[in-house]
Amino acid sequence: MEAIFEKLEKLNQHFRTSSSQPENERFLQRIVKLNEEVGELCEAALCEVDKDQRKKDKLIDFDAELADVIICALMLSTGREVDINLEIHKKLDKVLNRFNIE
């Protein structure tokens, strides 16, 4: 996971230095991009369960779309004060606890 966060940070640095876009605008743009990727993931899920949905001219890869969603979601964590690793651990512990799983 550490290597992934290093790559995300490099990407974030690139976007910050190659554009004068304000941070709040970039943040909103990333939220919109995340929604776009979620839409693509939904389309891929439909194709997984119903092959007739598949577009003949377009290869749809559910796992690649899932990776896009995860990357976009994690990009939202770059440059923030809170450690997203810690937040994910806290959330997972909460869910495990809810189901009495140790």
Contacting residues toward Mg ion, per CB under 5 A: 37, 40, 65, 68
The single residue listed with the structure tokens 């929604």 is 35
Q: Which residue is nearest to Mg ion (CB)?
A: 68
Half-sphere exposure for 20 (CA within 13 Å, toward CB): 0
Residue nearer to Mg ion on the CB measure, 23 or 57: 57
Residue nearer to Mg ion on the CB measure, 34 or 40: 40
- Find the shortest distance in angstroms from Cβ 18 to Mg ion: 22
Residue nearer to Mg ion on the CB measure, 61 or 83: 61
- Find the shortest distance in angstroms from Cβ 80 to Mg ion: 23
List phi, psi (to 5°) of 34: -60, -45
Question: Long-range contacts for 25-28 (Cβ within 8 Å, ≥24 apart)?
Answer: 27/76
- Find the shortest distance in angstroms from Cβ 64 to Mg ion: 7
Rg of the chain over all Cα atoms, to the nearest angstrom: 17
Burial zone of 70 (CB within 10 Å; 0-12 exposed, 13-18 middle, 19+ buried): middle
- Find the shortest distance in angstroms from Cβ 84 to Mg ion: 21
Residue nearer to Mg ion on the CB measure, 65 or 75: 65
